[in-house]
């Protein structure tokens, strides 16, 4: 550390002893006259110059900061340097003119510099503005400027404002401090000039990138939204869509299925952070962008709001444009809450509609909000962005889509002037609710507006706006105090940066999404097939038909929805009791039959153990509070256990004679009379379970499944209808009972499985035994606590959001599933599992389409720039003799235009190449639909052919 400090201090000195100090360039000895030794802070050398050499070597970098001996800061102005524009460095103009007041300030990255600046006034010389710009100095005014900023500082600030959201004020503070941090020297305040420069700079760059410099109509010929950076992956007719896409989406086919692959996805949202205080106005601060990029054109927008913002009432006094009340959850309350605090604000937020699969801002898709999230503002930005080149189907998403969308068509009929929805038979619109917002909606919405259950949406989540806001919220601070025009321009510039950043990552991001989709699709399709295989064939066919009918509007019954039957508590208890009865009955069969097999004997032993457990548990539960009737029943159960034990004990003498010794020992200790049925000792040695078979285990799995269904049913019911303490207490008790029952079933299952494990390992170690005794393992798998999960469709609350990644635990996919009583739960599960598999299949196909679009888009974009290059190339050809100066000047200008167009084209061509490589590498996997191996062989069967035909075309025919 000390060493570093020393080295840093060493740099403060000249670096050589005084007597050796020489000018780096002319070698004149400087040691004796130390006042003429100079050094530069900004050159990459700590060499020492004499005054003349210092000046000479800085002809091309006159904004460096020179230092005087003992290395105080000085300026080139102090050294007598004058900057000469319009001539090569070092050449002095014979007709030079001093800048206004001979006092010019240049803002650069290292400081605010006072300079002496001369323009050239030779015959036919360019204007001072041109001279400044050609020196990469951006003046604050066009007439008699006295301030300019270097291109370098503007580029740096612009990038800082995008990434670190640095405000111009903060930035100028930094520059000022860098100029002098002692407060001893006066640093010129150039904040307002800098503000002015940066706004023009932003607009100039926008026009340049948008190709307006290559259009004869120039800036004034800009079309709405033209300067927005477009999403390469979204479908744009005439740009990146395959030939014949119109045929694929023929008018006669009004169903979504035929169009889904060519649909546009738009996410709608309002942001309440991007506010603007009521300072300045559109007259004083009109801004440069008039709907050229992402913000809508202000005048038309304001007129629209003025006209339709006031409530239009119908005959009954109801608002035509916005319903007073929500018919879903109370979204209005939330929305109006976020609109509060509107006092002193000119804009309370920003309405936005962006591309929701690639998180990019769309052209003319943002507009201010004045009073909360009113439909009229939202409608305007949506309709305006839909005016830009769109395909024939649009899937929108909006967190209050269930409220906003149903009236959209009606409202757009009221709005005057043409709009893309009005009277259009060619445009299919649908609106869903973003995935993470959906759980807050009522059950009906959760089915109707679900991305998971809607065909043709892949794995889109509709949450793009939220992701976009996370970035632009940081912008809120710096734009809050701006005038309306400055704010619009700043927001546009920032969104442009956001979009461009997305464009540069789009290939990588689509490729990584594809890789994931390929894996997930395999998982989900297999899960679906396994589940379907475990279900009775008839059910599958019936349910598949139900989903398809519903989707195509042939049936109103929604197969994803519970049947609506609410099981009462008594019914549930009855069902539990019945199953208990079955268990007991089963345990009692063939109790004393002479031909009882060893396996039945062992199983009966286990059954008795189980009955003991149940008896004890029930007794503890009853405690001293149970009714007489309940206590009597418990006693009876105890007696039953004892009777079964006594009968079984006789069999035990046959099968396990050695056990007599144990019992004898107990008798000797005086413990022969066991009072409590729960204390009866069975002495079941696991080694004796030699011949146990699989069926008891299977049966247990079935009971587990049915108990899980009951549990899930209870939970859903509690969440939806559970009000009041009395109800809660009772249902909690029942839920606890069900949980105990589950854990008992698991214990029993573990014992049986353990026994079979011992048995089979014994068998396998016997020499000469047949292989394949392991088959049971695929049926009776290890039951982990986390396997005890209900069907994925019965998950509630936050678990629901990760729907696309849910998988069934194995107990639901071993054969024999579907014989449970709760058909509705299984049907919902089947439909949802099926939907999940479909969504991933669609996602794969969509990603393939998107990769293809990105490839086409960059090709198209490259071609645009190549055309521009060609156009200006022809204008660039220089004649042998110039007829006039202007001609020469325009040839030079066109050379610049050609160079820029070539550079832009080259960037796109490279992107096109990258996109093509990725697309080609991924296409085979993305378009080959996943069908698991065993499915293929089964498909040959007639029954499956019928099912295939029934199932969506998406799964099987799109490839
Ligand atoms: Zn020198
Ligand atoms: Zn230098
Ligand atoms: Zn000159
Ligand atoms: Zn997009
Ligand atoms: Zn809703």
Taking ligand 5, which is a single-atom ion, which protein residues have CB atoms under 5 Å away?
Answer: 328, 402, 441, 445
- Strand partners of residue 223: none
pLDDT score of 698 = 67
pLDDT score of 132 = 94
Q: What's the maximum distance between 2 C-alpha atoms anywhere in the chain?
A: 132
Dihedral sign, CA of 17, 18, 24, 29? negative
Q: Is residue 113 in some structural domain?
A: yes
Closest CA to 632 of 644, 618, 611: 618
Q: Is residue 119 in some structural domain?
A: yes
Q: How confident is the model at residue 185 (pLDDT cuts 50, 70, 90)?
A: confident
CB within 8 A of 649, min separation 6: which ones? none
CA 105 to centroid of ligand 2, rounded, Å:
19
- Strand partners of residue 115: 104
Q: How confident is the model at residue 156 (pLDDT cuts 50, 70, 90)?
A: very high
Segment 306-320 shows an average pLDDT of 70
CA 99 to centroid of ligand 3, rounded, Å:
14
- Residues 60, 168, single domain; the answer is yes
Which-ligand-closest: CA of 65? Answer: 2
Which-ligand-closest: CA of 123? Answer: 3
Give the 3-state secondary structure of residue 785. Answer: helix
- Residues 628, 721, single domain; the answer is no
Which-ligand-closest: CA of 52? Answer: 1
Q: How confident is the model at residue 567 (pLDDT cuts 50, 70, 90)?
A: low
- Residues 677, 741, single domain; the answer is no
pLDDT score of 468 = 74
CA distance 599 to 590: 12
Residue 148 backbone dihedrals phi, psi, to 5 degrees:
-145, 155
CA 138 to centroid of ligand 1, rounded, Å:
33
pLDDT score of 952 = 42
Last residue of a domain, one of 179, 194, 209: 194
CA 406 to centroid of ligand 5, rounded, Å:
11
Q: Is residue 319 in some structural domain?
A: no
Which-ligand-closest: CA of 442? Answer: 5
- Residues 792, 683, single domain; the answer is no
Task: Indicate whether 837 pLDDT > 90.
Answer: no
CA 487 to centroid of ligand 1, rounded, Å:
52
Q: How confident is the model at residue 578 (pLDDT cuts 50, 70, 90)?
A: low
CA 766 to centroid of ligand 4, rounded, Å:
65
Which-ligand-closest: CA of 358? Answer: 4
Closest CA to 345 of 431, 401, 286, 279: 279
Task: Indicate whether 614 pLDDT > 50.
Answer: yes
Q: Is residue 928 in some structural domain?
A: no
Beta pairing, strands 360-369 & 345-347: unpaired
CA distance 321 to 314: 10
CA 6 to centroid of ligand 2, rounded, Å:
24
pLDDT in tens, 901-934: 999 999 999 999 999 999 999 988 888 765 544 4
- Residues 137, 18, single domain; the answer is yes
The larger pLDDT score, comparing residue 772 to residue 151, is at 151
- Residues 100, 24, single domain; the answer is yes
Which-ligand-closest: CA of 76? Answer: 2
Q: Which of these ranges, 80-94, 880-894, 943-957, has the smallest mean pLDDT?
A: 943-957
CA 157 to centroid of ligand 2, rounded, Å:
22
pLDDT score of 456 = 83
Q: Is residue 865 in some structural domain?
A: no
For 332-348, b where at least 16 C-beta lie within 10 A, e where not — what string? beebeebbeebeebbbb
Which-ligand-closest: CA of 124? Answer: 3
The larger pLDDT score, comparing residue 564 to residue 697, is at 697
The larger pLDDT score, comparing residue 554 to residue 43, is at 43
pLDDT score of 588 = 39
Q: How confident is the model at residue 151 (pLDDT cuts 50, 70, 90)?
A: very high
Domain total of the chain = 3
Which-ligand-closest: CA of 22? Answer: 1
Domain range for 727: 567-585+692-805
CA distance 409 to 27: 84
Last residue of a domain, one of 653, 688, 723: 688
- Residues 24, 122, single domain; the answer is yes
Task: Indicate whether 822 pLDDT > 90.
Answer: no
CA 329 to centroid of ligand 5, rounded, Å:
6
Give the 3-state secondary structure of residue 869. Answer: helix
Q: How confident is the model at residue 766 (pLDDT cuts 50, 70, 90)?
A: very low
- Calculate the CA 767 to chain-centre distance: 59
Q: How confident is the model at residue 488 (pLDDT cuts 50, 70, 90)?
A: very high
Which-ligand-closest: CA of 23? Answer: 1
- Residues 705, 801, single domain; the answer is yes
- Spell out the SS3 assignment of 593-659: CCCCCHHHHHHHHHHHHHHHHHHHHHHHHHCCCCCHHHHHHHHHHHHHHHHHHHHHHHHHHHHCCCH
pLDDT score of 638 = 83
pLDDT score of 797 = 45
The larger pLDDT score, comparing residue 595 to residue 871, is at 871
Q: Cα dist. 388→140, 215, 228, 384 in Å?
A: 35, 20, 11, 7
CA 434 to centroid of ligand 5, rounded, Å:
11
CA 22 to centroid of ligand 2, rounded, Å:
17
Token pair 């309306």 is found at 484
Which-ligand-closest: CA of 437? Answer: 5
CA distance 612 to 637: 9
Q: How confident is the model at residue 155 (pLDDT cuts 50, 70, 90)?
A: very high
- Spell out the SS3 assignment of 504-539: HHHHHHHHHHHHHHHHHHHHHHHHHHHHHHHCCHHH
- Residues 43, 183, single domain; the answer is yes
Which-ligand-closest: CA of 87? Answer: 3
Which-ligand-closest: CA of 506? Answer: 4
Q: Strands of 415-512 (E only): list them.
A: 428-432
Task: Indicate whether 617 pLDDT > 90.
Answer: no
Dihedral sign, CA of 859, 861, 864, 867? negative
Q: Is residue 659 in some structural domain?
A: yes
pLDDT score of 818 = 46
Q: Is residue 352 in some structural domain?
A: no
pLDDT score of 848 = 92
pLDDT score of 688 = 43
CA 945 to centroid of ligand 4, rounded, Å:
38
Taking ligand 3, which is a single-atom ion, which protein residues have CB atoms under 5 Å away?
Answer: 93, 120, 122
CA 448 to centroid of ligand 5, rounded, Å:
9
Per the structure block, which two tokens stand in for 399?
A: 């967190």
The larger pLDDT score, comparing residue 496 to residue 615, is at 496
Q: Which of 25-34, 389-398, 759-768, 859-868 is modeled with the greatest confidence?
A: 859-868
Q: Long-range contacts made by residues 589-597, C-beta under 8 angstroms, separation at least 24?
A: 591/644, 591/647, 591/648, 592/647, 592/650, 592/651, 596/651, 597/691
Task: Indicate whether 231 pLDDT > 90.
Answer: yes
Give the 3-state secondary structure of residue 366. Answer: strand
Q: Which of 401-415, 418-432, 451-465, 650-664 is modeled with the greatest confidence?
A: 401-415
Residue 445 · residue 413 · CB < 8 Å: no
CA 402 to centroid of ligand 5, rounded, Å:
5
CA distance 280 to 484: 7
CB within 8 A of 714, min separation 6: which ones? 572, 731, 734, 735, 738
CA 97 to centroid of ligand 3, rounded, Å:
9
CA distance 241 to 393: 13
Q: Is residue 357 in some structural domain?
A: no
- Residues 768, 646, single domain; the answer is no
Which-ligand-closest: CA of 30? Answer: 1
- Residues 721, 772, single domain; the answer is yes
Q: How confident is the model at residue 76 (pLDDT cuts 50, 70, 90)?
A: confident
For 838-858, b where at least 16 C-beta lie within 10 A, e where not — what string? bbbbbbbbbbbbbbbbbbbbb
The larger pLDDT score, comparing residue 314 to residue 368, is at 368
Give percent of the chain above pLDDT 70.
74
CA 374 to centroid of ligand 2, rounded, Å:
58
Residue 395 backbone dihedrals phi, psi, to 5 degrees:
-105, 115
Last residue of a domain, one of 170, 194, 218: 194
Q: How confident is the model at residue 124 (pLDDT cuts 50, 70, 90)?
A: confident
pLDDT score of 587 = 47
Computed over every residue of the chain, the mean pLDDT equals 78
CA distance 136 to 129: 11
pLDDT score of 593 = 47
Residue 498 · residue 473 · CB < 8 Å: no
- Residues 152, 49, single domain; the answer is yes
């Amino acid at each position: 550390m000390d060493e570093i400090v020393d080295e840093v201090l060493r740099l403060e000195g000249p670096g050589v002893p005084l007597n050796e100090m020489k000018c780096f360039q002319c070698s004149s000895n400087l040691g004796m006259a130390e006042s003429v030794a100079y050094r530069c802070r900004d050159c990459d050398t700590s060499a020492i110059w004499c005054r003349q050499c210092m000046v000479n070597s800085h002809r091309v970098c006159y904004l460096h900061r020179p230092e005087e001996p003992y290395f105080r800061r000085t300026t080139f102005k102090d050294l007598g340097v004058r900057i000469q524009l319009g001539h090569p460095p070092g050449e002095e103009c014979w007709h030079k003119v001093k800048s206004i007041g001979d006092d010019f300030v240049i803002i650069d990255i290292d400081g605010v510099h006072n300079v002496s600046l001369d323009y050239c006034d030779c015959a036919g010389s360019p204007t001072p503005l041109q001279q400044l710009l050609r020196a990469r100095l951006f003046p604050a005014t066009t007439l008699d400027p006295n301030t300019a900023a270097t291109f370098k500082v503007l580029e740096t600030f612009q990038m800082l404002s995008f990434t670190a959201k640095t405000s111009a004020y903060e930035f100028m503070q930094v520059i000022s401090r860098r100029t002098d941090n002692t407060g001893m020297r006066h640093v010129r305040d150039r904040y307002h000039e800098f503000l002015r420069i940066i706004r023009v700079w932003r607009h100039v760059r926008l026009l340049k990138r948008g190709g307006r410099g290559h259009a004869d109509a120039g800036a004034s010929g800009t079309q709405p939204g033209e300067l927005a950076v477009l999403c390469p992956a979204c479908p744009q007719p005439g740009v990146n869509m395959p030939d014949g896409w119109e045929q694929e989406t023929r008018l006669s086919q009004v169903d979504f299925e035929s169009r889904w692959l060519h649909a546009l996805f738009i996410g709608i949202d309002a942001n309440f952070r991007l506010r603007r205080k009521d300072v300045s106005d559109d007259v004083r601060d009109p801004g440069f962008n008039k709907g050229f990029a992402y913000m809508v054109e202000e005048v038309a927008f304001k007129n629209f709001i003025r006209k339709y913002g006031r409530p239009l009432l119908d005959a009954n006094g109801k608002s035509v444009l916005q319903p007073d009340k929500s018919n879903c959850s109370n979204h209005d309350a939330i929305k109006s809450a976020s609109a509060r605090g509107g006092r002193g604000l000119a804009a309370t937020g920003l309405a936005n509609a962006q591309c929701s699969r690639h998180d990019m801002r769309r052209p003319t898709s943002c507009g201010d909000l004045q009073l909360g999230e009113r439909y009229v503002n939202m409608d305007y930005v949506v309709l305006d962005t839909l005016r830009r080149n769109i395909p024939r189907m649009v899937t929108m998403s909006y967190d209050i889509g269930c409220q906003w969308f149903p009236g959209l068509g009606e409202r757009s009929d009221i709005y005057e002037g043409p709009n893309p929805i009005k009277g259009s038979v060619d445009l299919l619109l649908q609106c869903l609710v973003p995935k993470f917002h959906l759980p807050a909606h009522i059950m009906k919405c959760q089915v109707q507006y679900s991305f998971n259950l809607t065909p043709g949406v892949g794995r889109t989540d509709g949450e793009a706006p939220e992701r976009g806001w996370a970035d632009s919220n940081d912008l809120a601070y710096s734009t809050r105090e701006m005038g309306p025009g400055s704010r619009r321009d700043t927001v546009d510039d920032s969104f442009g940066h956001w979009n461009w950043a997305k464009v540069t990552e789009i290939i990588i991001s689509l490729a990584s999404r594809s890789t994931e989709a390929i894996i997930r699709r395999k998982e989900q399709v297999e899960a679906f097939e396994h589940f379907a295989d475990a279900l009775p064939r008839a059910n599958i066919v019936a349910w598949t038909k139900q989903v398809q009918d519903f989707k195509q509007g042939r049936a109103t019954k929604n197969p994803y929805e519970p049947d609506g039957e609410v099981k009462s508590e008594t019914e549930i208890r009855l069902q539990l009791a019945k199953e208990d009865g079955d268990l007991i009955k089963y345990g009692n069969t063939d109790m004393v039959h002479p031909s009882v097999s060893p396996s039945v004997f062992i199983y009966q032993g286990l059954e008795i153990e189980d009955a003991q457990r149940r008896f004890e548990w029930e007794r503890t539960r009853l405690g001293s509070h149970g009714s007489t009737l309940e206590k009597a029943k418990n006693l009876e159960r105890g007696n039953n256990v004892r009777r079964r034990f006594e009968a079984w004990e006789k069999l035990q003498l046959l099968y396990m004679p050695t056990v007599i010794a144990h019992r004898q020992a107990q008798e000797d200790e005086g413990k022969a009379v066991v009072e409590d049925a729960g204390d009866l000792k069975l002495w079941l040695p696991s080694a004796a379970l030699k011949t146990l078979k699989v069926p008891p285990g299977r049966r247990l799995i079935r009971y587990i499944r049915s108990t899980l269904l009951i549990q899930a049913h209870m939970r859903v019911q509690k969440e939806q209808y559970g009000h009041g303490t009395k109800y809660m207490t009772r249902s909690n008790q029942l839920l606890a009972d069900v949980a105990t029952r589950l854990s008992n079933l698991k214990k029993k299952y573990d014992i049986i499985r353990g026994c079979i494990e011992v048995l089979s390992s014994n068998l396998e170690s016997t020499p000469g035994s047949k292989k394949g005794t392991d088959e049971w393992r695929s049926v009776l798998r290890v039951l982990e606590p986390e396997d005890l999960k209900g069907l994925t469709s019965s998950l509630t609350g936050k678990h629901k959001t990760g729907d696309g990644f849910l998988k069934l635990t194995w107990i639901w996919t071993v054969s024999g599933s579907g014989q449970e009583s709760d058909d509705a739960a299984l049907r919902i599960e089947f439909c949802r599992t099926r939907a999940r598999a479909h969504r991933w299949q669609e996602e794969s196909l969509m990603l393939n389409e998107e990769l293809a679009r990105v490839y086409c888009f960059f090709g198209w974009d490259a071609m645009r720039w190549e055309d521009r290059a060609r156009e200006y190339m022809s204008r660039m050809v220089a004649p042998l003799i110039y007829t006039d100066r202007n001609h020469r000047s325009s040839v030079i200008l066109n050379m610049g235009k050609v160079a820029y167009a070539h550079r832009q084209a080259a960037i796109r061509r490279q992107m096109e190449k990258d996109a093509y490589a990725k697309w080609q590498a991924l296409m085979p996997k993305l378009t080959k639909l996943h069908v698991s191996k065993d499915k293929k062989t089964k498909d040959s069967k007639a029954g499956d052919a019928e099912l295939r035909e029934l199932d969506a075309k998406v799964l099987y025919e799109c490839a």
